Structure 1
């Protein structure tokens, strides 16, 4: 999915509210801005979401905080009548289908444990040591139950 970059400043909320009111009052005009506002409301729920959009180059935030952008999009469509035709419904459903629990878990694993080469190597080294410890424990238990202590004493 591609979202064109856009600027968020002090006049963005006023502009969006006016365009949404215009689109909703004229049914013959396609509701692209209203659909866009609904899409952003669906995608942005926290300041962390805004940070991801900023890092991707989609949002250029000129407000004081990311929390203000979150409040802007979470409140922009609150009192608006839902659009008759959501122009981005197929893209939204594709994104939601893409976000399966397996993909989300894999993404978190990559982000938290393999975010840098050193972190990845430490995870691999830890797993290697865990396997060696497990094998050593199995070997010790087997030698104890079989009776072979390996010391050569009767």
Structure 2
């Protein structure tokens, strides 16, 4: 009886960790990838311990260390540049609605920001720009977005010229 209560508490704790990570909708994928079962109710106490330690590790990786003001300023500057490029492409964010930006950055071509373990478990970037926590990552994203924007502009120009010819 005590063992079942302990397992129940560990299962609840694992769910809390997933909520803190924002991965609650991927619970089935994570459990199936690790142990090949569909539900946490089918797991033993030892298996739950493994999932909990893994989630704690990921949560620890997601916690940003204290940054100096200069670094924080650089992050904001590069995030702003990325938003400007997205805006030029017609992907607009408002203070209350970031869904268009988050949806764009959840595409496969931007998943390089995730760790290999996250990619293997089927997790996608759901944090949008805030998944890019390093200035170098934001610079890389900026260049990638500029390249996409430039290619879209070239295609639009070619289509416009073609339409004018006809």
Instruction: State the structure with bigger RCO (CA 8 A, min sep 6), 1 or 2.
Output: 1
TM-score by length of 1: 0.32
Q: TM-score scaled to structure 2, two decimals?
A: 0.30
Structure showing greater radius of gyration is 1
